[in-house]
Structure 1
Amino acid sequence: MTTRVPVLISGGGIAGLTAALLLRREGVYPVLVEKHAGVSPQPKARRFNPRSTEVFRLLGLAAEVAEASAPLATFTEVLAGPTLVAAQVRDMSGTMRERRLQQARIPELSPGPNVLCPQVVLEPILRRAAEERGVSVRLGTELVSFSQDDDGVTALLKPVDGEPYELTADYLIAADGARSPVRTALGITRSGHGHLADNLDLYFRADLTDLAREKPFNLCEIDNPVASGAFLSVNGTDRWLFSTADFPEAHTLGEGDWHDLLRIVIGLPDLDVELLSRSPWESAMRVADRFRDGHVFLVGDAAHMMPPMAAAGANTAIADAVNLSWKLAAVLAGQARPALLDTYDAERRPAGYAIAEASSTVRGHVGDMLAAYTKPDSRHDDLLATMFGTQYPEGAFVPDGRGPAPADHYAPAGRPGTRVPHAWLDADTSTVDFAGPGLTLLTGPDNGRWIAEANRLGLRLTTVSHPEWLAEVCLPADGALLLRPDVIVAWHSASGTPLAEALTRVLGTVAVPA
């Protein structure tokens, strides 16, 4: 008999693992399949922003991620030069100074830090946590084909060392990368600027500890006649990445040639170098024209392909996962109608397109992107508004009649469809920490009118007496907010909509939440 599970996840990268962990937090036991049996041969994404580390915090993984990112905690410099040895700290333009000042404000706005934690380091942490928490993680298992009907999805799975078998699921999450076989099988088209550049990543081992001690760099732009590009720190001692334009005749180069090239752009002709992997990749902007097809959902690179500056793709993938997971859990538990799942596309597709388009303003290899990003006359959106101020135009929330949040600075003011602002309530607790599992009612200190209502509707209630936070979210002492598990405000009492009606509008059902 074919086994049935609530959610099948195809893809064991950042998007798939994060979705699996978030589903477990909401009480769902998913199955995750990943066709590769080992870790990636490339470090991949490195920069995880506070919105992503907030998710790791909600998952109870903040300490592990902080420990894993500690080796690069001081690697903050941006260098430029003809070689790594000759590179100097780039002169700060007005744009860079402004962004540094904005970055300095991040601790005011989030309990999560900016971290440099290469994906090859982060994924094992997420995978281990998923396995420990009851996710069935099946490495070396490929989703060969699937079909869907009104009841769900039937998938044919093939272990690398076993016989194919069938598994049925209520829902399938396609976290299977930019070339997503699932998206291809569904015939989902993509829009955007398309191809931008061909690139080549050289992941190598070389002891540069002394050099890095003098120059603790995050990125180093290289302008060299042999090969221009950028160095990226992977562990700060002996593992590094050099990203450059793809060589038309790369297939003719032997390993010794690659070693010589690396020695030249590093600037140490006698350096002992070991090339760990060579990976060609395409910089492109392609966004799926729909993120849902029946019982199948696209997340991460399967949904939106974008240039890698500041790990935009990985951070957007985590935002996809946290948006989708609680909605799937609510529907599976009978707390919401399946129509709630339509709001995943309504919310995440416009957001994903906007981020991909913004990332595409810097083109070429990573060195070109870095140069364009840091040049004196560059113009970029406000960092804090971009990072924390995303506002969904429509979706699983009840508008309160206010206009949209400002786009040029961060001031969401507790508007439904925006992230709830952060405030420390004690040494360890942020208002962000109250997000999930399930929906949460945040009230002011005069909560008498809400206690019975929350009990009747099955909502967890938390009282916040922080006066500055109450003022920031425009909440009177007897007001309340409905908070989604993805840290998004679903309802504001100032809207005039009764809480029970708001809950029905958000979930699409009159069913009482568990």
Structure 2
Amino acid sequence: MIVVGAGPVGLALAAELALGGVSVRVLERRDSPDPAMRAQSINVPTAEALDRRGLLPALERIQRETLGVAGFRFTGHFAGMPLDPGLVDWADPELAAHTAVEGARMIPQPRLEELLAGHAERLGVHVRRGVEVTALEDTGSGVVVGTNTGSLRAGWVVGCDGGHSTVRRLAGIPFPGTDPEITGYQAVVDMADPEKLADGWSWSPQGVYRYGPQPGRVATVEFDGGPADRSAPVTLADVQSSLRRVSGTDVTLTGLRAAPTRWSDNTRQAATYRSGRVFLAGDAAHVHPPFGGQGLNLGVGDAVNLGWKLAAVASGRAREALLDTYDAERRPVGAWVLDWTRAQIGVLRGDPKSGALRGVLADLLGTRDGTTYAVKQIAGVTQRVSLPGAHPWTGRYVPDVLLSDGTRLSDHAHEGGFLLLDRTAGAVFGELAAGRARVVRDDGAGVAGALVRPDGVVVWASDTTDPVGLEPALRQWAGSDLLSYR
């Protein structure tokens, strides 16, 4: 198995493949990790995916080091309009069901990448740096990958190599969407006169800027038709010039504390996430404006969805038809994120019509219902997969489940594989799932049973001891001979 790209998505995918018992090589064209400033937070599904692999303590430590506090309720913003945590209905069932990771959300992308690199390495994943893919041939029984260091062969290849994906281009997969109209910069800087900038988000006819919340953090947005060369190095002068234009001040920047980034609202989604034995994940499959770090989270969701499926098929434990569910399940989530970020670009514009729309949205987001809705969307707790079954858990990421022995259900998922929660007196569910899922017996109160995929999606649940529907779910997802990974 070859994964192209050693960013967070590629590393997360490689780790899931390794948990599935598959030998995987990661090819990365860069000689060292990218230090550029990117996403500053992760959503609930991403945090829970890492929690299921035993990484929650490390995430909590990173948040404490980042913020200086342990507890923090992340809300975010919509088009620069902050969402007031005091207006959120934290007792909303969809929010209240996912609180175990609330101390592990403010995770800067470089720290997340470092964490995932260590996780993958412990699982035996080897990352080859300085290797650039130059050719790709799907032979029908495998893939020949040409690189600057020679040719490699693999059964399957996954492109996690970013918005300018070489894998996507060589596979001939179209990338339709909308062209950019903005140029954005993000940086952490030293400045001589910070008093010239207003805290938070500020609008002007020239664009939008944000100062804070971390000391020295600045971001700008200009509606200038998009950058002429997004790949060109970003200099201190670039950031200062943009900040001066949109703020209308002569603020002076004196240094960069972190590698700055340039971005746009180029918004595209691959026509298919799979072509034969070649797959796309992360920015290789979809690009959009970076508001709220949605791209990072969307990519990690791709990785954990595809990882266990591809491992099961590659090792002969499941039929290839299982792989068709990857595009079917992840494409709708990707399309939603594209529209969610596109909408924010429309609201950010400095023209009178967009300003009026921003005022209407500000009123809506100033209500309890409006803020709660937006926070749930940003947090990712409303995401679901369309699956048969009437139980409210079916198709959703498994909520926090505290067991009578003091552990949580996620504590039993560190080694991957399917989990079956069984709270029946006679272990009725566990007998059916023997050899196909790791059975977690519990005598606590709550849902009687739930079958959870390796990616955290519940494919069957029941409030009674009646096992109706469990066997079909086991056959469809776990397969008669698909054993738990460890």
Superposition deviation, residue 487 in structure 1: 1.0
Read off the aligned partner of 1:504 and give its amino acid letter.
R
1:392 correspondence with 2:385: yes
User: Of the candidates 486, 493, 496, which is equivalent to residue 455 of structure 2?
Assistant: 486
1:36 correspondence with 2:30: yes
1:245 correspondence with 2:232: no
User: Of the candidates 40, 57, 61, which is equivalent to residue 67 of structure 1?
Assistant: 61
What pairs up with 1:11-30 in 2 under 5 angstroms?
11-30=5-24
**Hey, what's the Cα distance between the residues in 2 that align with 1:174 and 1:39?**
17
Superposition deviation, residue 340 in structure 1: 0.7
What pairs up with 1:329-348 in 2 under 5 angstroms?
329-348=311-330
Read off the aligned partner of 2:427 and give its amino acid letter.
G
**Hey, what's the Cα distance between the residues in 2 that align with 1:229 and 1:315?**
24
Equivalent position of 1:154 in the other structure: 144
**Hey, what's the Cα distance between the residues in 1 that align with 2:153 and 2:205?**
55
**Hey, what's the Cα distance between the residues in 2 that align with 1:99 and 1:299?**
33
Q: Secondary structure at the match of 2:396?
A: coil
User: Of the candidates 98, 112, 117, which is equivalent to residue 101 of structure 2?
Assistant: 112
Equivalent position of 2:271 in the other structure: 289
Read off the aligned partner of 1:68 and give its amino acid letter.
I
**Hey, what's the Cα distance between the residues in 2 that align with 1:186 and 1:447?**
52
Read off the aligned partner of 2:219 and give its amino acid letter.
F
Conserved 8 A contact 1:197-1:365: no
What pairs up with 1:323-334 in 2 under 5 angstroms?
323-334=305-316
Superposition deviation, residue 62 in structure 1: 2.0
1:33–1:367 CA distance, 2 compared to 1 (3 A): farther
Superposition deviation, residue 105 in structure 1: 8.0
Q: Secondary structure at the match of 2:266?
A: strand
Q: Secondary structure at the match of 1:205?
A: strand
Superposition deviation, residue 227 in structure 1: 5.7
1:353 correspondence with 2:335: yes
User: Of the candidates 392, 409, 419, which is equivalent to residue 440 of structure 1?
Assistant: 419
- CA RMSD in angstroms comes to 3.9
1:230 correspondence with 2:210: yes
Name stretches of at least 5 consecutive residues in structure 1 with no aligned partner.
Answer: 1-6, 80-88, 159-163, 403-411
Conserved 8 A contact 1:202-1:277: no
Conserved 8 A contact 1:142-1:157: yes
Equivalent position of 1:409 in the other structure: none
1:247–1:336 CA distance, 2 compared to 1 (3 A): same
Name the stretch that deviates more: 137-146 or 494-503: 494-503
Equivalent position of 1:425 in the other structure: 403
Q: Secondary structure at the match of 2:264?
A: strand
TM-score (ref. length: structure 1): 0.76
1:92–1:345 CA distance, 2 compared to 1 (3 A): closer
Superposition deviation, residue 431 in structure 1: 2.7
Name the stretch that deviates more: 99-108 or 418-427: 99-108
Conserved 8 A contact 2:206-2:222: no
Superposition deviation, residue 63 in structure 1: 2.3
Superposition deviation, residue 122 in structure 1: 2.0
Superposition deviation, residue 287 in structure 1: 1.5
Conserved 8 A contact 1:196-1:363: no
User: Of the candidates 133, 138, 160, which is equivalent to residue 175 of structure 1?
Assistant: 160
Q: Deviations over 1:33-86 (max 9, x none)?
A: 11112232521111201211111212222222222232236697989xxxxxxx
**Hey, what's the Cα distance between the residues in 1 that align with 2:58 and 2:331?**
31
Superposition deviation, residue 138 in structure 1: 1.3
1:140 correspondence with 2:130: yes
Q: Deviations over 1:439-469 (max 9, x none)?
A: 12211141433444333x34311123332x3
**Hey, what's the Cα distance between the residues in 1 that align with 2:406 and 2:349?**
39
Conserved 8 A contact 1:111-1:422: yes
Q: Secondary structure at the match of 2:337?
A: helix
1:372–1:37 CA distance, 2 compared to 1 (3 A): farther
Q: Secondary structure at the match of 1:481?
A: strand
Superposition deviation, residue 120 in structure 1: 2.3
1:466–1:294 CA distance, 2 compared to 1 (3 A): same
**Hey, what's the Cα distance between the residues in 1 that align with 2:201 and 2:101?**
28
Equivalent position of 1:407 in the other structure: none
User: Of the candidates 451, 469, 481, which is equivalent to residue 511 of structure 1?
Assistant: 481
1:210–1:263 CA distance, 2 compared to 1 (3 A): closer
1:78–1:357 CA distance, 2 compared to 1 (3 A): closer
TM-score (ref. length: structure 2): 0.80
Superposition deviation, residue 513 in structure 1: 2.2
Q: Secondary structure at the match of 1:155?
A: strand
1:124 correspondence with 2:114: yes
**Hey, what's the Cα distance between the residues in 2 that align with 1:226 and 1:111?**
42
Read off the aligned partner of 2:13 and give its amino acid letter.
A
Name the stretch that deviates more: 9-18 or 491-500: 491-500
